[in-house]
Amino acid sequence: MNDTAELANPPLSGAHAGAHADSPRERDHFRIVPARHRARTLGTLAAALLIGLVLHSVLGNPRWGWPVFAEWFLSEPVLSGLGRTLLLTALGAVFGFALGIPLALARVSRSPLLAGCAWAFVWLFRSIPLIVLLLILNNLGYLYETVRLGVPFTNVLLLDVPTTELISPFLAAVLGLTLNHAAFSAEVIRGGIQSVDHGQLEAAAALGLPRQRQASRIVLPQAMRAIVPTAFNDLIALAKGSSMVYVLAMPELFYTVQIIYRRNLEVIPLLMVATVWYLIILTVLSALQVYVERHFSRGVKRNAAPSVFGGLLKYVGFARGDKQARVAARVGTDAADADAQAAGAAASANATAAPQRWADQRDGARIVIQQVSKSFGTLKVLDNVSLTMHPGSVTVILGQSGSGKSTLLRTINHLERVDSGLIDINGELIGYRRDGATLYELKEKEILRRRVEVGMVFQNFNLFPHLTVLENIVEAPVALGRLSRAEAESLALSLLARVGLEAKAHAWPRQLSGGQQQRVAIARALALKPKVLLFDEPTSALDPELVNEVLDVIKALARSGTTMVIVTHEIGFAREVADDIVFMDRGRVVEAGPPAQVLNQPSHPRTREFLSRVL
């Protein structure tokens, strides 16, 4: 038996123990010797030798002219040129990004003409070499003698200036860097926006968040994870590309160095002056990139590595204490699974205790679906569906995959627009204004306002990963002005306590198990106190062991008086919680009625066939 086997299986009897040279207690004092990696050691030595050779070659060769380098490195002309380089870089970056943002939004616009114009801009200014663009702008006076600004097609002029007086070499340099940088940054921003999962947009829309809030709080913070690395690459390229303005005879860093070495003929030392300053600039930008990336990567990793720059800022007092990080540090990577049983017990206790209800008792809304049809291309997913769901009732929709269940659910809150028919909630249409027999589609702002009454819990949770659990829940009530921040946080903590997750308030969604994430999603939907709650297969993305903890929460919620519509494959759960069961097949309602009727005595052959396979 080897040592490993002995340690894992201690002797059962004293006689057997005596046969061993040492006891398990003595083994506790064994010294562990790490494995030696000879190839790694040799590689380290080779790297150290190479570094030493390079340093000796550079520092030991007098032809590099280090005394001349030291003489000019901090000289007034060099520092003046460095200042112009930094100024050009800053102006090109700020104006370039400012122009790149609307260009990126135009590229994803639904207007073909607007998107085409933005594409043409990007194509043109990415194609023209920067040095050529700078020369064209500097000589623009040969093409256009004057620059005029006024009302088109009239004689009204607001500005009439000779082009050569308006466009100085400095302005030509700023314009050239701006146009070049805007073309590249527009594509970077567009790629970042398109990298955000569409489910995040649907979750924000389902909460009724205004479009501006969706962009600023949900889309852009997540898009920045994809934008920042490439944007900093472009920024670094811009800083180096600013040396191209030497063709305009502007005394920036590179041009200044050229003038000096043409006078004293010390070419290499002066080029090294410029090189070291560029290295310093790019090192600072690279360090800033690391910090910015860490900021926008919050919530992505279960346990993010500590930030050196963040620690330094906190040490000098410029950064606020991060309560979320302290709490998250106490959340182990598998702590979610460890407390699953306790959370399930808490939810069950809430379900059985009459005084402890999910939320304030409220009246649910009446849902009327009238002859709704919906097609995706040639595929008809809903075919003349009509249903009525009574206030405070729980309706479960069953059917095989592809039968139209989820599409029907999404038409109720207008995440999917219907081709014909209409759906009203308490007599009010979500997506339309009715005038006699004519329906006028509403603007997005009004749709979002009406959608607040209809909460939705998605199959894949769709929590906002860059916001903590608490922030996920308070975002909509605060953004919509329904509650103050303090009131929203108090409500959120109350809801989290009811789902057994109060201790996870400051954790990131990534640190929770699937069942816990779904319970947070339910609490988020409840924070707006909707009259209707939609559940789109809330347990299909969960492991079997986590299903019950979510179902227990929904069972408790069924007593609140909220009208609930649930798409699920859990037949036992449907039998227990539903007031009505709807069975769909090929986009049609085949059968509907109480659970005892539909599940025990189905009248339609398709329903009987389905139940025979799943029961």
Domain 72-297: give its CATH architecture. Orthogonal Bundle (1.10)
Nearest CA to 230 out of 189, 196, 180 is that of 189
β-bridge pairing 379-389 and 394-398? unpaired
Task: Choose the weakest-confidence range: 235-239, 554-558, 578-582.
Answer: 554-558
Residue type, position 581, single letter: I
β-bridge pairing 563-567 and 532-536? parallel
Both structure tokens of 358: 């999910």
List, for residues 336-389, the tens digit of each pLDDT value.
444 444 444 444 444 333 333 444 556 789 999 999 999 999 999 999 999 999
Distance between CA atoms of residues 158 and 378, nearest Å:
56
List, for residues 277-302, the tens digit of each pLDDT value.
999 999 999 999 988 888 888 877 65
Distance between CA atoms of residues 325 and 310, nearest Å:
12
Q: CA end-to-end span of the chain, whole Å?
A: 51
Q: Kindly state the average pLDDT of the residues 112-141.
A: 94
Distance between CA atoms of residues 517 and 459, nearest Å:
11
pLDDT classification of 462: cutoffs 50, 70, 90: very high
pLDDT of residue 350: 42
List, for residues 197-222, the tens digit of each pLDDT value.
999 999 999 999 998 899 889 998 99
Instruction: Give 85: exposed, middle or buried? Use CB within 10 Å, 0-12, 13-18, 19+.
Output: buried
List, for residues 16-42, the tens digit of each pLDDT value.
444 455 555 555 567 778 788 889 889
pLDDT of residue 559: 78
Mean residue pLDDT of the chain comes to 84
β-bridge pairing 588-593 and 420-425? unpaired
Alpha carbon separation from 414 to 332, 441, 450, 473 (Å, rounded):
39, 11, 10, 22
Distance between CA atoms of residues 424 and 312, nearest Å:
56
Neighbours of 406 (CB within 10 A): 21
Evaluate if residue 232 carries a pLDDT over 80. Answer: yes
Residue, of 589 and 33, whose pLDDT is higher: 589
Q: Kindly state the average pLDDT of the residues 239-252.
A: 89
Distance between CA atoms of residues 340 and 336, nearest Å:
6
Residue, of 499 and 489, whose pLDDT is higher: 489
How many helices (H) and strands (E) are present in the chain, helices listed first?
28, 14
The ranges assigned to domains in the chain are: 72-297, 344-614
pLDDT of residue 28: 59
Evaluate if residue 303 carries a pLDDT over 70. Answer: no
Distance between CA atoms of residues 344 and 553, nearest Å:
8
Alpha carbon separation from 233 to 45, 195, 566, 613 (Å, rounded):
32, 18, 47, 56
Beta strands in 19-105 (DSSP E): none
Task: Choose the weakest-confidence range: 199-208, 399-408, 552-561.
Answer: 552-561
pLDDT of residue 425: 92
Question: What is the DSSP secondary-structure string of 438-474?
Answer: EEEEPPHHHHHHHHTTEEEE-TT----TTS-HHHHHH
Q: Is residue 359 a contact partner of residue 528, using CB atoms and an 8 Å limit?
A: no
Question: How many percent of the chain have pLDDT more than 70?
Answer: 85
Evaluate if residue 180 carries a pLDDT over 70. Answer: yes
CATH no., domain 344-614: 3.40.50.300
